Structure 1
Amino acid sequence: MLLNVSYNNKEITRKIDAEVGKPFPLKDRIKMGGIGSPKLEIKEASVEIRNLLILDNNANVCNIEIRPKGIILGFRSLLESYALVIPFYKLTIYKGDMAIYSVYRDHYFVKVLADTKAVQKFFKKLLDYKADTAPTSIEDL
């Protein structure tokens, strides 16, 4: 779900927490070695996201935050902040040619450049965490 998170709205915060869980406590963040990605350069995006990004002339960048049950992909357009909230069961990540990672949720997608070791290390951490927390049987759902 694509949300405008520019303002402190309790209803939007409740929706995000229900979808991907509350933020990790500080102790867990330190244990994981951080939960946020470096700055990611957006190379391509779905129509809804592209329409937001072309509204200004700033660099198209985003970041990803890992949550207990999913991720939040955040970006800015004009003076507004947007979040693409993706639970793990809807998250699909592809590694394409020329160090491009594609992050999908339903009909939304963002393709980002992974030109540094830090970005590749983050995606490895994200995929490992997703695999570790995936349900092992139908009863776990």
Structure 2
Amino acid sequence: MLLNVSYNDSEITKKIDREVGKPFTLKERWAMKGIGSPKLSITETSIEIRNLLILDNNRDTCNIEIRPAGIIVRFRSLLETFTLVIPYYKLKIHKGDIAVYTIYRDTYFIKVRSDTKAVREFFKKILDHKIGNTPNLPEDL
């Protein structure tokens, strides 16, 4: 689900919380050694996201936040902030040939450059957290 989160809207916050869970507490963040990614350079996206990113001439970057039941990918275009909310059961991550990770949710995708060790370790943390928090059976949803 692609959302504009530039303005404080309780309905959008509830929608995000239902999809991927409430944010971790400070204690949980400390235990996980952080839940946010470093700044990621976007190399390619699906057409819906590309249409938002081409509105300005800034570098295309994003960051990822880990939530209990999924991830949130945030990026900016013009003066607006957008999020791609991805629950773990819809999350697909592929590692490309030359230091590129592709994050998929249904028809949306974002390719990001993984040129540092910190980025690779963060994607490993996402995959480890996904394994422990994805329901096994459809009735577990």
What is the TM-score normalised by the length of structure 2? Answer: 0.97
Separation of aligned partners in 2, 1:126 and 1:45: 20
Contact 2:41 2:112 in 1 (8 A): yes
> What is the 5 A alignment of 1:5-24?
5-24=5-24
In structure 1, what is the equivalent of residue 107 of structure 2?
107
- TM-superposed CA distance for 1:138, in Å, is 4.9
Separation of aligned partners in 1, 2:39 and 2:133: 25
- TM-superposed CA distance for 1:132, in Å, is 1.2
What is the TM-score normalised by the length of structure 1? Answer: 0.97
In structure 2, what is the equivalent of residue 62 of structure 1?
62
Q: Give unmatched runs, 5+ long, in structure 1.
A: none
In structure 1, what is the equivalent of residue 87 of structure 2?
87
Q: Percent same amino acid at aligned positions?
A: 69
Contact 2:24 2:67 in 1 (8 A): yes
Q: Give unmatched runs, 5+ long, in structure 2.
A: none
In structure 1, what is the equivalent of residue 26 of structure 2?
26
Count, aligned residues? 141
CA RMSD between the two structures: 0.9
Separation of aligned partners in 2, 1:6 and 1:76: 9
2:51 aligned with 1:51, yes or no? yes
- Equivalent AA in structure 1 for residue 53 of structure 2: L
Contact 2:39 2:63 in 1 (8 A): yes
- CA deviations on 1:74-109 (whole Å, 9 max, x unpaired) are 000000000000000000000011010000000000
